[in-house]
Amino acid sequence: MSLKILVVTNMFSESSSSYRPYIKQQIKSLKDKNIEVEKINLRKFNFPLLNLLLGMVNILIKTTGRKYDLIHAHYGFNGTSSILRYKTPLITTFHGSDIHVKWQRMISKIPHRLGSESIFVSKNLFNLMGSKKGIVIPCGVDLDIFKPLPKEEVRKELKIPLDKRIIAFSGNKDAIAKNYPLFKKTLEKLDRNDNKEYYLWGYSQEMVVKILNAADVLLMTSINEGSPVIIKEAIACNLPVVSVDVGDVKEVIGNIPGCYIGNYDPKELAQYVEKAINNKNFEGRKYITSYDNNLIAERLIEVYKKVLGES
């Protein structure tokens, strides 16, 4: 299928604090399926209204006189910036805070109602939008990049002693939604007090792969999430996960032996962390093959075909 799409995002540039590498991976997967992709990375200023207006002008200029089969915007704000496109169908993917945060949800309803189709990365986000319109397609993972590596070799490279227990935290500890205080309280409840924390934020993708392979468990304590890719990346590296019930985590790891979902209780989470660490034969990778980026790309292409009346 020969398609030319315009991807609209502010999460693509590696120099941006909003950078999400899974957007870049998704674009690569689409290109591998012979989809022609042109991207526009909308700039972010500290004035949301200014961002919105500049984005609208930018997309209108971009689509006027240029032939795109459709626009695929990532994040509700960027979908809203795309509503004044010129004669081009609009698909918006909603990722999390654009639905969880009430004022952002109000803005997200604009492209949801005026666009051709909406994609939600989890059922939770779909339900929160409160509309029958839309389809759920989770964020995928590149299984060629995120894969098991010999722990001893990785720890030697990172200069981490083999007897040290590594607990990985799923994001920026300063982000309120990531709920670092609960993570810290959980570690204080563990049987041993010599655990080392690693925060998976600000590292290159290559480094994240190494940390996931060096760690003993990934602990997610977030208040809200959409479809946290780090969960799938950890499982792809055969790293067990302990998490609260947030986003689509239960759908991803609920049936994987050696992974655990608990309440927002540090004592309970600590017990699950101990169980996960003590399981030395964890092999979860085989349970997440359905989240392979190549399969997610095929699902996206089916949505594109539907919007264009070709399915």
Q: What confidence tens digit (pLDDT) does each residue in 154-184 have?
A: 999 999 988 889 999 988 888 898 999 999 9
* 61 found inside a domain: yes
Q: What's the pLDDT score for residue 1?
A: 55
Span 278-290, mean pLDDT? 91
Measured N-to-C along each axis, helices 180-188 and 266-278 cross at an angle, to the nearest 10 degrees, of 70
Shared domain for 229 and 173, answered yes or no, is yes
For residue 89, tell me if it sits in a domain: yes
Q: Does some domain include residue 195?
A: yes
145 lies in a domain?
A: no
CATH of the domain at 169: 3.40.50.2000
**Average pLDDT of the chain?**
89
pLDDT of residue 306: 94
What pTM, to 2 d.p., does this model score?
0.86
| Pair 232, 129 in one domain | no
In contact, 269 and 142? CB cutoff 8 Å: no
99 domain-assigned: yes
- Domain encompassing residue 29: 3-140+292-307
Percent of the chain with pLDDT over 90: 57
pLDDT value, residue 16: 46
Residue 146 lies in a domain: no
Both 106 and 72 in a single domain? yes
Same domain, residue pair 127 and 194? no
**pLDDT for residue 275 is more than 60:** yes
165 shares its domain with 270: yes
Residues 184 and 264 in one domain: yes
* 8 Å CB contact between 256 and 284: yes
Closest C-alpha among 184, 283, 281 to residue 234: 283
308: helix, strand or coil: coil
Listed in sequence order, the residues at least 6 apart from 107 whose beta carbon sits closer than 8 Å to its beta carbon are 52, 76, 77, 80, 98
Cα dihedral 101, 173, 8, 89 sign: negative
Contact 94, 121 (CB under 8 A): yes
Our count of domains for the chain comes to 2
What DSSP line would sit under 50-105, residue for residue? HHHHHHHHHHHHHHTTS--SEEEEESHHHHHHTTT-SS--EEEEE-SHHHHSHHHH
Per-residue model confidence (pLDDT) at position 19: 52
Distance CA 153, CA 283 (A): 19
Instruction: Using the predicted structure, report yes or no on whether residue 55 has a pLDDT greater than 80.
Output: yes
pLDDT of residue 15: 47
Q: Give the SS3 label for residue 117.
A: strand
